[in-house]
Amino acid sequence: MEVTGVQPPAWVQDAVFYQIFPDRFCNGDQANDPPGVRPWGEPPTPTSFFGGDLWGILKKLDYLENLGVNALYLTPIFLASTNHRYDTEDYFQVDPVLGGNTALRELVREAHRRKMRIILDGVFNHCGRGHPFFRDAQARRRQSPYGDWFMWEEEEPGYSCWAGCPGLPEWNHDNPQVREYLLSVVRYWLEEYEIDGWRLDTVEYLPPDFVREVYRTVKTVNPEAYVLGEVMGLGTPWFRHRALDGVMHYRLWEGLVHFFAEEVWDAPRFVRYVWHIWRSYPMWANFASYTLLGSHDKPRFLTLAGGERRKFLLAVAFLFAFPGAPAIYYGDEVGLAGGDDPDCRRCFPWEEVQPDHPILSVIGKLVRRRRETESLRRGGLKFPFAQGRALLLSRPFLGTETLLALNAGTKEEVLMLPSGRFREEQSGEFLSGTLRLPPYSFTFLKRVS
Ligand SMILES: [Ca+2]
């Protein structure tokens, strides 16, 4: 990869991420539960708390390590009043309800001991209405030292807020003191707690030059730390301006939904779409982006696929054969369902974790194959075949070639293989010419000549 400037950290293309919404993953300490905690597994509402915490994550690191996960992304953990915590009230304090700073220190230490990275959610566009600076500024305006830290408006609610949500007042990034304050947060958790990077919330709302300052600040503290942006649109400008290492790949996600879940696109259209994004990003950014099938902001993929396990697993196979850092959204691996927020934030159903679970067992194999196969992590990208609902995805790497062959349709398909000889990984059989695939199935091939 030809890159000028700072390289994205090399570990990212070897990463298998796991995203955790801390209130819903595991309750490791009931003593810190907020009042009014709901019974684990009850359908979530916008305001319910379930008592999950960082101690719970710590307890489940064995589970995650066994699954093959080597990087964690936690949605916000700092003091806030909502269950999602995108309304920060103190950027220097892990919410006591999650175990406080002590629990984070333990979690990072134990994750690092297992060679697992951990990135936190940086919410720097806005804070919560309960942030003391905002409270003081709102009460005293010009008399407050923070009077110019926010943007006052005639219109209700009287100040600029994220997407019109009064609970999320926006910082005035034109004020250099605001920037310095937020950058001190960026530095603090990298320096004092040795986190491995930041996922930047709602990047498209932030002034681009501020995002670049965040990027440079991170790289100054630790060039190996990852700067991931929540970008719903095209990531290209952020990469051209060297403001991010990678994006949460929602563009790819859209294509995956249309092809695998909704089945409104055929394979040629899907491949054209993927190729278009692939060629729109610099190569280093393709390899450093976070590829996902789910997040706390989208309905669960399995639910979008009408609960059809085979469709979901085809999408997982594609994701784990595709360049970038694939991510598992907590619970997806055991078939947790869920529609729009807050339904996509249900409690993790721990009783589902069984070695022969029909989804978990397949995902476990896909994760292991990726961890063990360098071409799937570092290889180039080709689509040698796409017809009807079937396609071949190829990852050539240093004279080797690994291919994913898949049929996402209801009929058997015959796929044309590139010239040469291949070994099917499952059966060990040698193939050339064509490959027959049953409906809704996939297999991996290795080139042997
Ligand atoms: Ca708890």
Instruction: Find residue 120's DSSP bridge partners.
Output: 74, 198
Whether 157 is in a domain gets the answer: no
- Nearby residues of 166 by Cβ (< 8 Å), 6 or more positions away: 129, 156, 157
Domain that holds residue 442: 384-447
If asked whether residues 226 and 364 sit together in one domain, one would say yes
d(CA 345, CA 338): 7
Q: What's the number of CA atoms in the CB half-sphere (13 Å) around residue 124?
A: 29
Return the structure tokens found at 165: 């949500």
Burial of 137 (0-12, 13-18, 19+ CB in 10 A): buried
Domain check: are 59 and 177 in the same one? yes
| Burial class of residue 134 (count of CB atoms within 10 Å of its CB; 0-12, 13-18, 19+) | buried
Residue 390 maps to which CATH number? 2.60.40.1180
Position 365 in a domain? yes
Q: Looking at 330-421, which runs of residues are DSSP E strands?
A: 382-387, 390-397, 400-407, 413-416
Co-location of 354 and 403 in the same domain: no
CB contact burial 4-41 (16+ within 10 A = b; e otherwise): eebebbebbbebbbbbbbbbbbbbbbeebeeeebeebe
Ligand 1 centre distance from Cα of residue 89 (Å)? 19
- Asked whether 290 and 228 are in contact (CB, 8 A), the reply is yes
Distance of alpha carbon 308 from alpha carbon 175, whole angstroms? 51
C-alpha 330 to ligand 1 mean position (Å): 17
Q: How far is the CA of 22 from the centre of ligand 1 (A)?
A: 10
Query: Does residue 268 sit in the same domain as residue 405?
Result: no
In a domain, 347, yes or no: yes
Please check whether residue 169 is in contact with residue 161, taking contact to mean a CB–CB distance below 8 angstroms: yes
Q: How far does residue 107's CA lie from ligand 1's centre (Å)?
A: 15
- Decide which of 351, 372, 393 is a domain's last residue: 372
Amino acid letter for position 221: V
* Placement of tokens 């359908």 in the chain: 43
CATH code assigned at 329: 3.20.20.80
Q: 227 - beta bridge partners?
A: 198
Together in a domain, 236 and 365: yes
Q: Would you give per-residue pLDDT tens digits along the chain (449 residues)?
A: 333 467 899 999 999 999 999 999 999 999 999 999 999 999 999 999 999 999 999 999 999 999 999 999 999 999 999 999 999 999 999 999 999 999 999 999 999 999 999 999 999 999 999 999 999 999 999 999 999 999 999 999 999 999 999 999 999 999 999 999 999 999 999 999 999 999 999 999 999 999 999 999 999 999 999 999 999 999 999 999 999 999 999 999 999 999 999 999 999 999 999 999 999 999 999 999 999 999 999 999 999 999 999 999 999 999 999 999 999 999 999 999 999 999 999 999 999 999 899 999 999 999 999 999 999 999 999 999 999 999 999 999 999 999 999 999 999 999 999 999 999 998 999 999 999 999 999 999 999 99
Residues 391 and 316 in one domain: no
**CA–centroid distance, residue 188 to ligand 1 (Å):** 25
Looking at the fold, whether 243 and 180 belong to one and the same domain comes out as yes
Catalytic residues: 201, 230
d(CA 359, CA 363) in angstroms, rounded, equals: 6
